[in-house]
């Protein structure tokens, strides 16, 4: 088999493992000018198995250096998801007074199915790890699903805080040294979606509309795959207040709010210890879905991450909404191809016809005037294949339709159309599309909604066109870049 054939779906600018299986991002931490990305990894198989932490580092969030496996199973079990922090003040005593990295993760005992929380530390910027001799540091007889610790330093109470998934809620713990933990509270009963088990929580404060005097807490939690739920696994978010012990949701959190309306953004969490001068909250998700993750048609590797995204809180329709934008670093990888403003659909199509590309970005703005039903782009097209990304005026919704996107028959729930409703009073519709060899990410309403979907088109499906149902004209501004 030719290399080309093996690698035809290999993302060009999204992270994917060098070989074998990958799921959740783990241990996201910034230290000594490196972004660390650890990840759930089975180094000996193309499906989930004996889980390890794989490892990669980057200086720009876009290009990654693969490093050896960081954590391997031991007598306490497999290494499930978790986080990492910089222990700046050596609260653990592991670092002789200097700062160092500590990983906090779940040990999953494959025989008893017991789940416990453990820690490990590194003296060499995450290259090698020493497991703490007192592991596990938290156990429970109460919960079978008890995992995915996310830890951060809570300055007001001067303690470490852990948020941990416990069945269909989360538990908060606190600690002064990352070794001894005290239970604080539980959150989640009777609020939000309980379509599946809760996994991979994250909790952080963000300024509302950039105003540092108005902080709100954002709580992310992923919901596992359940056969009756057509969407498979997905992620919800809440906003509220956190005092170091208890999370109190806002009024707006009484309604379920999804992080992404596509099928392929799961178990995402944010980087810890990004320097204050930078100040961003950067998120990455696993670009797949437990519904079909182990059947996707890649060879030799399986699983990729979303584009890293900056998260902000912005006032939209009277509430603080979680906004996602691809990190600015992406823009350094752009080669401008096209910048056009006009109305005639056929003129735009003449320009798009020449762009026979696999990996690109489109940034567009439209004025959905009277008489138009729907409009958008057809990507990666050929006679047999197309992925449609656009806006339905009637439903006031953006959508990605991957029904005919290429190879879709590996799972009955893979093909389909996924949409997100936007406030109907939008005067201009902004669409931003990021297309890699096997994915489409659509951002609309200036980051208000995201749709992340995997696609497996043939490498020769390179067509690109614009459609506008109901009219031959629509006011547009379109920019296109090669990535
Ligand atoms: C989420 C998850 C986590 C778990 C890990 C195992 O995708 O199920 O809850 O720690 O994957 O790989």
Can you tell me the distance from the alpha carbon of 158 to that of 276, in angstroms, rounded to the nearest whole number? 17
Whole-number Å distance between alpha carbons of 190 and 237: 15
Residue corresponding to tokens 């989360």: 170
Decide: 42 in ligand 1 pocket, CB within 6 A: no
Instruction: Please indicate, yes or no, whether residues 223 and 322 belong to a single structural domain of this protein.
Output: yes
User: Which atom of ligand 1 has the smallest separation from the CA of 290?
Assistant: 7
| Statement to judge: residues 185 and 257 lie in one domain | yes
User: Is 106's C-beta closer than 6 angstroms to any atom of ligand 1?
Assistant: yes
Residue whose structure tokens are 């951002």: 443
Q: In terms of domains, do 345 and 310 share one?
A: no
- The pLDDT tens digits for 182-229 are 999 999 999 999 999 999 999 999 999 999 999 999 999 999 999 999
> How many angstroms does the Cα of residue 163 sit away from the middle of ligand 1?
15
Sign of CA dihedral 323, 329, 330, 336: positive
Do 343 and 308 fall within a single domain? no
- pLDDT in the model for residue 428: 84
Among protein residues, the one whose CA lies closest to atom 6 of ligand 1: 80
Is residue 108 assigned to a domain? yes
- Nearest-atom number in ligand 1 for the CA of 286 is 7
For the stretch 425-437, pLDDT in tens is 777 899 999 999 9
Q: Is residue 411 part of a domain?
A: yes
Q: Residue 113 — very low, low, confident or very high, per pLDDT cuts 50/70/90? A: confident
* pLDDT at residue 438 in the model: 98
Instruction: Tell me the per-residue pLDDT of 133-163, one tens digit each, with 9 for 90 and over.
Output: 999 999 998 999 999 999 999 999 999 999 9
- The alpha carbon of 333 is separated from its chain's Cα centroid by a whole number of angstroms, namely 20
Q: Residues 161, 135: contact at Cβ < 8 Å?
A: no
Omega of the bond leading into 136 within 30 degrees of 0 (cis): yes
CA-to-CA separations, 163 to 215, 264, 426, in angstroms, rounded: 19, 24, 37
Residues 372 and 299 occupy one common structural domain: no
Number of domains in the chain: 2
7 in a structural domain: no
Chosen domain end from 272, 307, 328: 328
Q: Is the CB of 51 under 6 A from ligand 1?
A: yes
What is the pLDDT at residue 105? Answer: 98
Asked if 87 is an active-site residue, the reply is no
Distance 325 CA to ligand 1 centre (A): 25
pLDDT over threshold 80, residue 3:
no
| CATH number of the domain within which 184 lies | 2.115.10.20
Residues 341 and 322 in one domain: no
Q: How many whole angstroms from 200 Cα to the centroid of ligand 1?
A: 7
Phi/psi-derived region of residue 210, left when phi > 0, alpha when psi is between -120 and 50, beta in every other case: left
Question: Does the beta carbon of 115 sit less than 6 angstroms from any atom of ligand 1?
Answer: no
* Mean pLDDT of the chain, nearest integer: 96
300 CA → ligand 1 middle, Å: 21
Rounded distance between C-alpha atoms, residue 447 and residue 111, angstroms: 44
Claim to verify: residue 352 and residue 310 sit in the same structural domain = no
Task: Give the C-alpha separation, 159 to 91, whole Å.
Answer: 10
**From the CA of 25, how far away is ligand 1's center (Å)?**
10
For 453, the domain range is 335-482
Q: Which atom of ligand 1 is nearest to the CA of 200?
A: 9
Q: Which of 312, 328, 344 is the last residue of a domain?
A: 328
Question: Which of 17, 20, 24, 291 to mutate to test ligand 1, by most ligand atoms within 8 A of the CB atom?
Answer: 24
- Strands, DSSP E only, in 109-246? 115-122, 130-131, 146-154, 159-166, 169-175, 182-187, 198-208, 211-223, 234-242
Q: Looking at the structure, tell me whether residues 345 and 283 fall in a common domain.
A: no
Please tell me whether residues 115 and 238 are part of one structural domain. Answer: yes
Instruction: Give the Cα separation of 342 and 345 in Å (integer).
Output: 8
Q: Which of 17-31, 359-373, 376-390, 424-438 has the lowest mean pLDDT?
A: 424-438
| 81 close to ligand 1 (CB < 6 Angstrom) | yes
Domain shared by 287 and 343, yes or no? no
Query: Do 323 and 339 fall into the same domain?
Result: no
Is 333 in a helix, a strand, or coil? helix
Which atom of ligand 1 approaches the CA of 148 most closely?
10
Query: Given 3-state DSSP classes, what are the helix, strand and coil percentages for the chain, each rounded to the nearest 5?
Result: 5, 50, 45
Within-domain flag for 6: no
Whether 219 and 324 share a structural domain: yes
CA-nearest residue for atom 8, ligand 1, is 199
**Structural contact between residues 23 and 286, judged by C-beta atoms closer than 8 angstroms:** yes
CA distance 50 to 21: 10
How many angstroms separate the alpha carbon of residue 118 from the centre of ligand 1? Answer: 15
Among protein residues, the one whose CA lies closest to atom 9 of ligand 1: 199
95 close to 72: Cβ distance less than 8 angstroms? no
Atom of ligand 1 nearest to the CA of 106: 10
Identify the pLDDT of residue 468. 98
């Amino acid at each position: 088999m030719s290399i080309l054939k093996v690698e035809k779906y290999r993302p060009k600018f999204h992270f994917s493992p060098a070989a074998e299986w990958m799921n959740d991002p783990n241990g996201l931490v910034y230290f000594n000018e490196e972004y660390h990305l650890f990840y759930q990894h089975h180094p000996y198989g193309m499906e989930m198995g004996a889980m390890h932490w794989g490892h990669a580092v980057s200086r720009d969030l876009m290009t990654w250096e693969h490093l050896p496996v960081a954590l391997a199973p031991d007598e306490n079990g497999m290494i499930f998801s978790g986080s990492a922090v910089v222990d700046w003040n050596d609260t653990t005593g592991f670092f002789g007074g200097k700062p160092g990295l500590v990983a906090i993760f779940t040990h999953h005992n494959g025989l008893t199915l017991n789940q416990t929380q453990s820690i490990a530390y590194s003296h060499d910027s995450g290259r090698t790890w020493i497991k703490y001799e007192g592991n596990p540091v938290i156990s429970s007889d109460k919960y079978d699903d008890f995992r995915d610790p996310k830890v951060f330093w809570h300055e007001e109470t001067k303690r470490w805080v852990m948020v941990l998934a416990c069945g269909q809620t989360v538990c908060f713990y606190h600690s002064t040294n990352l070794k001894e933990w005290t239970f604080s509270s539980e959150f989640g009963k009777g609020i939000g979606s309980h379509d599946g088990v809760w996994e991979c929580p994250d909790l952080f404060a963000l300024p509302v509309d950039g105003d540092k005097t108005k902080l709100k807490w954002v709580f992310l939690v992923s919901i596992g795959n359940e056969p009756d739920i057509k969407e498979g696994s997905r992620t919800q978010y809440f906003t509220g207040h956190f005092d170091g012990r208890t999370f109190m949701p806002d009024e707006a959190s009484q309604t379920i709010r999804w992080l992404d309306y596509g099928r392929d953004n799961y178990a995402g969490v944010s980087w810890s210890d990004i320097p204050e001068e930078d100040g961003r909250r950067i998120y990455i998700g696993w670009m797949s879905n437990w519904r079909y993750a182990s059947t996707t048609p890649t060879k030799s590797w399986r699983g990729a991450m979303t584009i890293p995204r900056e998260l902000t809180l912005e006032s939209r329709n009277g509430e603080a909404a979680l906004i996602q934008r691809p990190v600015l670093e992406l823009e350094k990888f752009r080669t401008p191809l096209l910048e056009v403003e006009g109305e005639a659909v056929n003129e735009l199509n003449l320009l798009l016809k020449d762009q026979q590309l696999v990996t690109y970005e489109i940034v567009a703005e439209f004025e959905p005037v009277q008489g138009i039903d729907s409009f958008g782009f057809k990507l990666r097209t050929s006679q047999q294949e197309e992925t449609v990304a656009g806006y339905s005026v009637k439903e006031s919704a953006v959508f990605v339709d991957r029904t005919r996107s290429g190879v879709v028959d590996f799972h009955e729930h893979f093909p389909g159309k996924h949409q997100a409703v936007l406030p109907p009073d939008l005067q201009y519709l902004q669409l931003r599309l990021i297309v890699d060899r096997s994915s489409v990410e659509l951002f609309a309403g200036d980051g208000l909604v995201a749709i992340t979907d995997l696609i497996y088109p043939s490498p020769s499906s390179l067509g690109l066109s614009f459609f506008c149902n109901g009219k031959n004209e629509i006011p547009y501004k379109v920019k296109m870049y090669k990535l």
